Structure 1
């Protein structure tokens, strides 16, 4: 038998404080949250202010401008992303930073079209050719450790490499004249499994494919050159290219979401995105793997927009390489005839303004862009995965909006 004591005023106060009050507060919070998540746009579209409290635990990313300074920029960039999402099928992320601080960080659209899952801050994009700057930095690390020289030839590390006289510097700034490995793999590779870097290096030795020109004579953008560079990193360091980047770049910069893709690795991060193409103007088809998917160095770094910003900060702040090496990466190369070319080491240099260093990438539905306006200390990152074709134009629009609406 239960005995009930009479309720006194003290009991009622305690009951209200510990039982009723928390329920009331919870209901108020839920009501406010529901009000702010009523539209479809909110589910697809998340601004940096929504996740500021979470991101504050990440030391590199806590450097953000106050909302009162960035609100006008955010509103205009939100509107821009909403327009290109509807008109141009943009499904991706945009991050803007000024003076080392984040101005804007947003994403819009779907990660998975079948499940209707929205993109979020942890969505991992294939960087495509933006990956090349990681390869170049890895080479410069080995150079600073006196493990390689930029004047070394590929034959110093791979004696059977059939294209003699190609230096590491030729590979870095695309003056090697090597044949396209895409074509070699598609026409000479006989196995079902896509070839790795080491297998492609052996295939070059046996395929008898002619090069385009002798080293140093011309500039010819080459994915093959960066395949060879990643292979040199593996040979010199004695570890896989993936392991080298993990230990020497991703871990020091706390790029905790980033990795180098390996098609044989079945434990792929759940936030790893697939590329899509638009079919008949409405249906998104997932793009299948190709014979060229296993090669790394020219592509295959996966990351988030925030991790990519950490990369920019770490590279520019001397956490990875010296200022001298960084200047080489950001400086125009040249041919043996002293003709300047619009490429440094892993970065394109704007022909009209050497203060603009950038790289774009396209691969299997992914479209990417990382642009640094060095004289303005402005960074614009655009990552997308549904074959969007306007990265350059979008970057210019973003820069214009920031320039007109951010007073810092």
Structure 2
């Protein structure tokens, strides 16, 4: 009887292991086919299942000679995924009663004293501010203050209407506010209060002290984008697009976020950030506080895509089941939603998710 019990347990364990191996092989084959089909030089993917890392892999190469393979620690520009870190930094300061969501931003930055825009308006892209101010090369030495002056000059009457308009400027202003109230630069604050607790040891920002660059070069249809056409590194834009990271580091942070870990925020704050606040112009998607949220088959989904010239990225999370995926690529023509759908289909068909 004891032998029979062991055989049954072994059989179940082996079948579960075999199923996992088959799923991983199918994921790898599917993702590699998509990468090749779309001329994506470098791509990294992480999958989290029930709050734990279940798949992590790099695809392609980070050099022109195809000799340096992409891996889980390969650094990419994460683009607008950076906004999630800015949002968490803001909410940390809200928890400490240093910031208030419904306070007008002029209370923290006097330049905006005549504006009715609140912290919450910026977090939900409902300030009415458009992206008329673009990043400039670092060698032009534009300061945060001169950037804010340009923003003030560009403000239109739309800011009184509080309409939804996705805009990097919202989060760049939030970054300036974080710096103003914390007595640290935006980069220092995020490094100390989010990257370090999350064990994101290889992640960082390009700034005046650190010329921090990704391992991957920006491309379009397999060709490296000419330097003159690449997205500039601008300190003012670090809060909206500046984080340089890997799927390995991001997975540490996302696991903590899904778990509601107190090393970054209180559990209730994580939940609050996922509550729908403002209807977007993207179908049934709403803005939470930083996150874009919606439901599919009564399942809550939180996401944030990122896109700058030569890089496309995505975080897609299912907060209730603590499942998630992270995608980083160095190609403007990456079919992010096809990749996310392929991963989701494979995992759901195998009952992994």
TM-score range (shorter-chain normalised) is 0.7 to 0.9
Instruction: Name the structure 1 match of 2:156.
Output: 210
Sort the Cα spacing of 1:76 and 1:148 in 2 relative to 1 into closer, same or farther, 3 A.
same
Over aligned residues, Cα RMSD in angstroms? 2.6
Instruction: Tell me the alpha carbon deviations over residues 356-399 of structure 1, each in whole angstroms, 9 at most, x when there is no partner.
Output: 00010101211000001223321111110122331112101101
Deviations 1:98-139, CA, capped at 9 Å, x for gaps:
112222111111212257422122211111111111000000
CA distance in 2, matches of 1:228, 1:251: 23
Partners of 2:257 and 2:85 lie apart in 1 by 10
Q: Any residues of structure 2 matched to 1:165-314 within 5 Å, and which?
A: 165-180=116-131, 183-185=132-134, 193=140, 195-205=142-152, 207-216=153-162, 218-262=163-207, 264-265=208-209, 267-268=211-212, 272-278=215-221, 283-288=223-228, 289-290=230-231, 293-294=234-235, 295-314=237-256
TM-aligned CA deviation for residue 197 of structure 1: 3.2
Aligned twin of 2:5 = none
1:334, distance to aligned residue in structure 2 (A): 3.4
* Unmatched runs of 5 consecutive residues or more in structure 2: 1-15
Deviation at 1:178, TM superposition (A): 1.1
Separation in 1, partners of 2:113, 2:299: 35
Which stretch shows the higher mean deviation, 133-142 or 114-123? Answer: 114-123
Q: Partner of 1:132 in structure 2?
A: 83
- The residue number in structure 2 matching 1:85 is 35
Per-residue CA shift, 1:327-354, capped at 9, x if unaligned? 121111038xxxx961101111126556
1:315 to 253, 257, 260: 257
Q: Residues 231 and 211 from structure 1, CA distance in 2 versus in 1: closer, same or farther, beyond 3 angstroms?
A: farther
- Tell me, in whole angstroms, the C-alpha distance in 2 between the residues paired with 1:169 and 1:145: 16
**Aligned-residue offset at 1:192:** 6.0
Do the aligned residues in 2 keep the contact of 1:70 with 1:406 (CA within 8 Å)?
A: no
1:307 is displaced (CA, Å) by 1.0
CA 1:322/1:88 → structure 2, altered by over 3 Å: closer, same or farther?
Answer: same
For the pair 1:118 / 2:69, whether they are aligned, the reply is: yes
Query: What's 1:350 paired with?
Result: 294
Aligned partners of 1:341, 1:168: CA distance in 2, in Å?
A: 21
With CA pairs under 8 Å and 6+ residues apart, which has the higher RCO, 1 or 2? Answer: 2
Q: Describe the SS at the equivalent of 1:379.
A: strand
Q: Does 2:108 align with 1:157?
A: yes
Larger radius of gyration: 1
Contact 1:276-1:287 within 8 A present in 2 as well: no
Partner-residue secondary structure (3-state), 2:240: coil
Gaps spanning 5+ residues in structure 1: where?
A: 1-65
Q: Displacement of 1:236 after TM fit? A: 0.5
> Judging changes above 3 Å, is the alpha-carbon distance between structure 1 residues 311 and 211 closer, same or farther for their aligned structure 2 residues?
farther
Instruction: State how far apart, in whole Å, the 1-side matches of 2:76 and 2:233 are.
Output: 18
When residues 107 and 156 of structure 1 are mapped into structure 2, their CA distance, relative to the original with a 3 A threshold, is same
What per-residue deviation string (whole Å, max 9, x for no partner) do you get for residues 232-273 of structure 1?
1000001111111111011111111111222x456436x633
Distance 1:190 1:253, change over 3 A: closer
| CA separation of 1:118 and 1:291: change in aligned 2, threshold 3 A | closer
Match for residue 54 of structure 1? Answer: none
Q: How far off is 1:215 after superposition?
A: 5.0
Check whether the contact 1:277–1:387 (CA below 8 A) recurs between aligned residues.
Answer: yes
Tell me the distance in 2 between the aligned counterparts of 1:361 and 1:209.
Answer: 25
